[in-house]
Amino acid sequence: MVFEGTQPGGQLMLTNEVENYPGFPDGVSGPEMMELFRKQAQRFGAETLFQTVTQVDFSSRPFKIKAEEEITEAETVIISTGASARLLGLESETRLMGHGISVCATCDGFFYQDKDVIVVGGGDSAMEEAGFLTRFASRVTIVHRRDQLRASKIMQERIFNNPKVDIRWNAVVEQMLGDTQNGGLTGVILKDTRTGKTERFRCDGVFLALGHIPNTELFKGQVDMNERGYIITRGKSAHTSVSGIFACGDVQDAVYRQAITAAGSGCAAAIDAEHFLENQA
Ligand code: NDP
């Protein structure tokens, strides 16, 4: 039984084109890929429900999962609730997501050949994404809200030494400009955090690198997590701190965060769960 929630498909629903998943030489849209995944799971008997789990009890077996006031009991549970990219929370951001705004340079960078892009954020991800984007874009501007980066020294130096990258200090994106009918994003309104002055800044793409939040609120106090809220899995396995509860994908991976690595760890979790059930018989 798969509880998909009310917005199934997760982060891939925010991507236009997935170019780096094997088996799709011409790329595939994120939503289309999710539909194919669902169909394939259903072919093997998975029951998929558009329901959101609101409570779990992993203190004893069978485990209890509550969704829409109904409790389902399970001998084993695989947690794959993923992570969400932190967003700025602007209306224009929601509207233009996937139309010039991206949360993943690895996924979408290729589309910005010889274009001007900005990267928002000052952490290691922002540095890594900015560096990666210089392979395609003609100009990369990092927009950071403070006058100091959060990123590690080595990542900072790499960026300072990259002639294709500029940094706009003490600046925040106040609005994204453009509309989906006319080619998407055309620029942003930047605001200086010290003076409050705003300006129009032309660009073809915005990459948000504000960090990720693992979707683990529901499991607090039930399975062990690290200080950032990611579920801890044992070694290369999908075993969590509770025997019979497994975790896979971005909910336990803050490093790779790709569809293909998540799918691979999902397969490992299924095998671990199967072995667990066999050993119980
Ligand atoms: P971080 O939380 O480290 O950085 C997020 C950045 O976004 C910060 O600079 C923060 O600003 C900024 N930010 C957050 N919210 C807003 C907002 N609303 N408006 C404007 N700016 C905002 O996330 P990362 O994804 O960069 O990194 C996560 C972890 O992964 C870190 O531990 C990092 O070291 C690690 N990592 C390591 C890499 C490597 O070593 N190769 C590569 C990528 C990640 P502020 O600084 O002001 O808080």
The model's pTM is 0.80
Domain boundaries, the chain: 2-84+213-280, 91-208
| Overall CATH class of domain 2-84+213-280 | alpha beta
Write out pLDDT tens, residues 49-84: 999 999 999 999 999 999 999 999 999 999 999 999
Query: What's the pLDDT band for 281 if we cut at 50, 70, 90?
Result: confident
What's the gap in Å between 38 CA and the centre of ligand 1?
32
Residue 123 Cβ inside 6 Å of ligand 1? The answer reads yes
Query: What's the pLDDT band for 16 if we cut at 50, 70, 90?
Result: low
Select 91-208's CATH number: 3.40.190.120, 3.50.50.60, 3.10.20.30, 3.40.50.300: 3.50.50.60
The residue contributing the CA closest to ligand 1 atom 32 is 124
Task: Please tell me if the domain spanning 2-84+213-280 has the same topology as the one spanning 91-208.
Answer: yes
Average pLDDT, the chain: 95
Residue 115's DSSP bridge partners are: none
pLDDT value at position 11? 85
- CA distances from residue 268 to 50, 219, 254, 256, 273 in whole angstroms, order as listed: 24, 21, 17, 16, 9
Residue 205 Cβ inside 6 Å of ligand 1? The answer reads no
> Pocket of ligand 1, candidates 11, 119, 125: which has the most ligand atoms within 8 Å of its Cβ, to mutate?
125
The CA distance from 201 to 10, in Å, is 31
Residue 254 Cβ inside 6 Å of ligand 1? The answer reads yes
pLDDT value at position 26? 93
What's the gap in Å between 204 CA and the centre of ligand 1?
23
Write out pLDDT tens, residues 102-132: 998 988 999 999 999 999 999 999 999 999 9
Residue 213 Cβ inside 6 Å of ligand 1? The answer reads no
Among 275, 277, 278, 272, smallest CA distance to 80 is for: 272
pLDDT at 48 over 90: yes
Query: Can you tell me which residue has the tokens 């999962």?
Result: 65
CB–CB of 57/63 below 8 Å? yes
Residue 125 Cβ inside 6 Å of ligand 1? The answer reads yes
Among 176, 36, 11, 189, smallest CA distance to 108 is for: 11
pLDDT value at position 13? 81
What's the gap in Å between 209 CA and the centre of ligand 1?
7
Query: Can you tell me which residue has the tokens 């080595």?
Result: 154
Among 186, 182, 222, smallest CA distance to 201 is for: 186
107 is catalytic: yes
Atom in ligand 1 nearest the alpha carbon of residue 122: 9
Write out pLDDT tens, residues 194-217: 999 999 999 999 999 999 999 999
The CA distance from 131 to 270, in Å, is 36
What's the gap in Å between 192 CA and the centre of ligand 1?
20
